[in-house]
Structure 1
Amino acid sequence: MIRRWFAPSRAASRARCWCSVVAVFAALAGCAKKEAPPAPGPVQVSVMTVEPRDTPVQFEFVAQTQSSREVEIRARVDGFLDKRLYTEGDMVKAGQPMFQMDRKPFEAALQSAQGQLAEQKARLEVASANLARVRPLAARNAVSKKELDDAIGFEKQSAAAVLAAQGDVRQANLNLGYTTINSPLKGLSSFAKKQEGSYLTAGQEGLLTTVSQVDPIWVNFSVSENELLSYRDQRAAGKLQFPANQDFEVEVVLADGSVYPYRGRINFTAPSFSTETGTFLVRTELPNPSGLLRPGQFVRALVIGATRPGAILVPQRSVQQGAKGHYVWVIGNDGKPQQRVVEVGEWHGDDWFITDGLKNGERVVVDGAGRVAPGAPLQIAAAPKQAQAQVQAGGAGGAPPR
């Protein structure tokens, strides 16, 4: 079958051309009807006014509790342990019996010493009576001088023997008393290192347990050399003030974040740095009437009492990080934002100390700082009153300088 092709007529070609032209103009007309996108509106921000103020600061350290007095309970005489008289781990009172040794050998020794004393007293009586007879006879030359000297010497010897026997009795009494082993202080008892029936020897081998005084209790922390040098430099520059006589208070924060109800004061600082750690030991003493703190417990120590005079604080959310470091947005006289590089110090609660870059009276963007661009229009509102008050008052809390 032969297909026949026919060329389109000139009229049909002309019609298709006009349709294309109409379609192009229709498209252009549709584009012309679309409106241009609106210009971006001003960025809503809140601002605060920089106002330097004397701001209390506190420094935080990792600390560990320690018994203010720990005593080793030891046997003072040799013998067998009869009974443990306390409950391990309990609080014991001063003078409370903790162990009882076998008393029988010491009772027998006391009885023997008392018998020796009675014997020596009897000999002294005989010697005294003999001297009383010899002395008048010697005065009449009825006996020789040697007999008088012998009588005097025997009487003195007997008196000395009585004194020695009295000492033996006292020692035997002491040894008998040592069989009851008491706690010398009120404190927390440890486990017993010797069991009933064990033979105890006095001295280093006779350790029975320990008693740790926990009221008051000590809290120890260490300050590094870098931190001490930083404090010294800041004080010399007038950026940090310590209380008179460096009379700091110390607050303790427990592992669960709760604050210990009693504050303490520093009662000891080491005279030199530790050669092992390169740190400086500081010791604080706190009341601990309920025994809430136990020796060896890790806590946080907040040292309170220092002040930063004329300090500038801004909320942490107002500080941004850029290629040149930390910066904030400062509102210029024309109401436009300007990027200002600042030098930051340590955190202070929800705020940041600014050590350089801001001046009194300048306005800093707080909320919305992340949406600001240089010279962008702003809709400015004051920072929330609570935040502003915190900024001006210095906030609460703190951390050591970094």
Structure 2
Amino acid sequence: MTTSTPLAQPLRSRPQTWLLPLSAALALTACQDNAGGPPAMPPPEVTIVTVKPNDVPLTLEYVGQTAGSREVEVRARVSGILLKRLYVEGRPVKAGDVLYQIDPEQAKAALDQARGALEVEQAKLMRAQQDHARVLPLFAENAVSQKDRDEAVSNFESAQASVLAARARLREAQINLDYTKVTAPISGMTSKEVRSEGSLVSPSGDSSLLTKISQLNPMYVNFSMSDNELLRLRTWQAQGRYVPPEGERYSVELKLSDGSMFSSAGRLNFTDNLIDPTSGTIRSRAEFANPDGALLPGQFVRVYLKGGKLKDTLLVPQRAVLSTQQGKIVFVVNPAGKAEPRPVELGDEVKNEVMITKGLRAGDQVIVDGNIKARPGAPVKVVTPGASAPPAAKPASAAAGA
């Protein structure tokens, strides 16, 4: 007797559920074989800017230092003891204000001596004049000799000259007495005293310097430009690429050490025609109105020279430029829609853009955003700036469970 078990049943009479996973696996394998590998990544999305020539204002930047428009050394012009300082250090003074008093006694004595010498010479002149007036009529009557006549004339003329010399010495003594009061030659701001009260001063050497005065309105700003930059500007001007302001009247702006801009613009009032052989630079100077004394001598500032412009200049955003070991490059989108690297040479920065002096042509489409993801020769997808990609589709398992 034969016993029937489930395993002994014919295969055709068992359910065919085991064929379902195998069919799915075969179908998946066939799909992969037909696709030739995993699906390709989509091209990266980028934004572009089309390069076109523009006239760009050119700002030239330098480091400068302020200086008074007039800086005068106050010096002693006579010898003596410095009795008193009559000004407050670091405060403004007006022209003619007395700054120092030098001991005047020696000058007063010299003045009295000069007065006495003048009176003596005047007395001699009076006597010589009397002799001259008496001898000449007698000589006309042949009552005196030619020698007597010549002596009278000579004594009279000599006495006249002696009086003139005595008057000059008197005037000199008076000037020296006046110089014992040291006055301000100009209006401006005083500096620290160099000689204190009680010091012996003289009109020669370093001992004559007492203080300095700087005129702060207007204020000068001295700066220098390199000879290479000047040559470049002149070359561009000859080529028609650079246009200076009318009459070379540049506008000048200042940035102070705290980052703030000075309230008013100045003007360029001097450019040297010689190159300093030690530094290879050309000295220049700008003038600024400084009525409230906001600028002080010796400040370091940033000088911005404005007014000129560059014609037909190509600009790209700064973020479009990449740094490589070979130099600066940008990516452009070629007619085939692929990324193409271009080596470029940069010029000056203009706000958030940079000048391209070599490497691009008008009409080139430069990648601005997404250039990090671009690969040479690989296709890219140009999108509108600010456009966002559509949300990704949910996984099948998540969609089924939703």
TM-score by length of 2: 0.77
Alpha-carbon separation, structure 2, partners of 1:166 and 1:220: 48
- Residue 381 of structure 2 is aligned with which of 369, 373, 377? 377
SS of the residue aligned with 1:370?
Answer: coil
For residue 267 of structure 1, report the CA deviation from its aligned partner. Answer: 0.6
Which region of structure 1 is more displaced relative to structure 2, 241-250 or 309-318? Answer: 241-250
For residue 86 of structure 1, report the CA deviation from its aligned partner. Answer: 1.4
Match of 1:386 in 2: none
Letter in 2 for 1:379: V
CA distance 1:149–1:251, shift in 2 (3 Å)? same
Letter in 1 for 2:183: N
Find out whether 1:267 has 2:277 as its counterpart: no
For residue 180 of structure 1, report the CA deviation from its aligned partner. Answer: 0.9
- The Cα offsets for residues 317-358 of structure 1, whole Å up to 9 and x where unpaired, read as 222335654343444556x35334141423221101122343
Match of 1:80 in 2: 81
Letter in 1 for 2:282: F
Residue-pair matches, total? 362
- Residue 353 of structure 2 is aligned with which of 351, 354, 362? 351
Alpha-carbon separation, structure 2, partners of 1:297 and 1:135: 76
Alpha-carbon separation, structure 2, partners of 1:87 and 1:189: 8
SS of the residue aligned with 1:202?
Answer: coil
Find out whether 1:314 has 2:293 as its counterpart: no
Match of 1:160 in 2: 161
For residue 170 of structure 1, report the CA deviation from its aligned partner. Answer: 0.7
Alpha-carbon separation, structure 2, partners of 1:201 and 1:177: 15
Match of 1:5 in 2: none
Letter in 2 for 1:297: Q
For residue 250 of structure 1, report the CA deviation from its aligned partner. Answer: 2.7
For residue 245 of structure 1, report the CA deviation from its aligned partner. Answer: 5.5
Contact 1:74 1:203 (8 Å CA) reproduced: no
Alpha-carbon separation, structure 2, partners of 1:297 and 1:341: 44
For residue 232 of structure 1, report the CA deviation from its aligned partner. Answer: 4.6
Match of 1:193 in 2: 194
Contact 1:46 1:368 (8 Å CA) reproduced: yes
Contact 1:249 1:266 (8 Å CA) reproduced: no
**Identity fraction in percent:** 38
Alpha-carbon separation, structure 2, partners of 1:238 and 1:135: 87
Contact 1:70 1:213 (8 Å CA) reproduced: yes
- Residue 223 of structure 1 is aligned with which of 210, 222, 225? 225
Match of 1:140 in 2: 141
TM-score by length of 1: 0.77
For residue 145 of structure 1, report the CA deviation from its aligned partner. Answer: 4.1
SS of the residue aligned with 2:108?
Answer: helix
Alpha-carbon separation, structure 2, partners of 1:377 and 1:47: 10
Alpha-carbon separation, structure 2, partners of 1:273 and 1:133: 73
Aligned counterparts, 1:55-134, within 5 A = 55-134=56-135
For residue 85 of structure 1, report the CA deviation from its aligned partner. Answer: 1.4
- The Cα offsets for residues 117-175 of structure 1, whole Å up to 9 and x where unpaired, read as 22322332233233333333333344444433333333223222221221111111111
For residue 109 of structure 1, report the CA deviation from its aligned partner. Answer: 1.9
- The Cα offsets for residues 91-116 of structure 1, whole Å up to 9 and x where unpaired, read as 22222221111122222222222222
Contact 2:339 2:374 (8 Å CA) reproduced: no
Alpha-carbon separation, structure 2, partners of 1:47 and 1:310: 20
CA distance 1:353–1:172, shift in 2 (3 Å)? same
RMSD of aligned residue pairs (Cα, Å):
3.7
Contact 1:324 1:341 (8 Å CA) reproduced: no
SS of the residue aligned with 1:366?
Answer: strand
Match of 1:388 in 2: none
